[in-house]
Each structure stands twice: as C-alpha cells, then as structure tokens.
Structure 1
Amino acid sequence: MKNITLSLFIFLMVGSALPAAAASCYADYKAKQDNPLRLHYGVAQVDGTCDVGSAKTELSARLSEQGWTLLNILSVFGEDGLEKRKDSAGPNYLRF
C-alpha cells in the first residue's frame, strides 16, 4: 500500500509541474546588420529560462547565423504580450 501511495504522490507532483514548465516565453529585441546599415525590431520565442540573460545568449546566436547582430533585449514576456507586439515586429514577428 505504501508503494501505491508513494507512486501516486510522485505522479501527481510531476504532473502538476509540467504545465508550468510548458509555459511559453518570448523576447522582443533590436538587431542590426552592417554594410549597408539595417535595423530591425523583432519578437522571438525563447526556449531556455525566461529571463533577459538567457534570451540574449539564445537570440544572439540565432541572429548571428543570419548575419544580424543583437543590439539589446527589450523585455521577456509570456503569450499574453504577443498580440500587442505583432504589428510593431512586422516580418520579424517570430522569424528568428
């Protein structure tokens, strides 16, 4: 009986932690390209920890692969902040 109770407890604890871990994280940022100078504002999904430092590391690498240099991360936010940034990001909305 102890094994069943312990197994049920572990199952419930792991199951209740999954929705929190599955929460989406996004960052809005500014980036540039040189020769000729081009600037853009964008919104991107962040896979790691939802903080500015992690977003900076992750997006810097992604943007660099496409010839862009990350200037700064403006903020990190959840799904609730996506819609109000969509128009401002234009073609760079969830592009990188």
Structure 2
Amino acid sequence: MKTLLTLPAAALALALAAAPAGAACYAEYKAKQDNPLKLHYGVMELGNACPPRGEAQAQIAARLQRGGWVLLNVISLFEGTPSKAQQQNAGSNFLRY
C-alpha cells in the first residue's frame, strides 16, 4: 500500500518540477517618430509574467522613448512564443527594445 501511494506522489513531483515556471510575456505595439514621420510595428519581451495593461504601456513607452520613439498603442499582450508572422512583420523591431 505504501508503494502504491509513493509512486503517484513521485510522478506528480516530477511533473511539477518539469513544468515551466512561467511563460515569457510579449507585447505587440505600434510606435512613431516625427520630423520626418516614421511608423513601426514591433514585438517586445516584457519579462516572465504579463503585467496589467496600464503598467505594460508605461514600460513599453519608456523603452521606446530611449530610442526616440513614441508609443501609439499596444496591440496585444501575450504569453508564449511569438509566431513566425509576428517575427517577420516586426522585422528589425522584433525584440529590439
């Protein structure tokens, strides 16, 4: 009986240890520069967990501002791996900021 309980407990412990601690959070955004007007779409990594939307917007805007860009809008926040289409659409702005 003791062996029957130990085996499932060990399997559960192994499964929990193998599970990822948390998926990375990414944001899709649009930004601009003035004089001359330039627009770009990008994908940015925000860390291990997605923050509330307002917090994410502030973080994205601050990072973009260092590069001379102004955040227009946050399209989406998501966890997991960005798709190939997102990578291709962002081009040089994929994980740039």
TM-score for the superposition, normalised by structure 1: 0.72
Contact 1:48–1:55 (Cα < 8 Å) also in 2: no
How many residue pairs align between the two structures? 81
Superposition misfits of 4+ residues, deviation over 4 angstroms? none
Hey, what's the Cα distance between the residues in 2 that align with 1:62 and 1:95? 10
Partner in structure 2 of residue 9 of structure 1:
none
Please state whether the residue corresponding to 1:30 is helix, strand or coil.
strand
1:30 maps to which residue?
Answer: 30
- SS of 2:81's partner is helix
**Alignment partner, residue 42 of structure 1:** 42
User: Alpha-carbon deviation of 1:91?
Assistant: 0.5
Q: How does 1:10-89 map to 2 (within 5 A)?
A: 19-20=20-21, 22-47=22-47, 49-50=49-50, 51-89=52-90
Q: CA deviation at 1:25?
A: 0.1
The residue type equivalent to 2:36 in the other structure is P
Give 1:49 shift: 4.9
Q: Report the alpha carbon displacement of residue 55 of structure 1 after superposing the two structures with TM.
A: 1.8
Give the distance between the partners of 1:69 and 1:89, measured in 2 at CA.
Answer: 16
Q: Taking structure 1 as reference, are residues 65 and 38 closer, same or farther at Cα in structure 2, changes over 3 Å only?
A: same
Q: Is the 8 A contact 1:28 1:75 kept in 2?
A: yes
Cα RMSD (Å): 2.1
Compute the TM-score of the two structures, normalised by the length of structure 2: 0.71
Q: Which protein has the larger Cα radius of gyration, Structure 1 or Structure 2?
A: 2
Q: CA deviation at 1:37?
A: 0.5
Higher helix share: 1
Letter in 1 for 2:80: E
Return the alpha-carbon distance in structure 1 between the equivalents of residues 80 and 35 of structure 2: 35
* Alignment gaps of 5+ in structure 1: 1-11
Secondary structure at 1:63's aligned position in 2?
helix
Partner of 1:93: 94
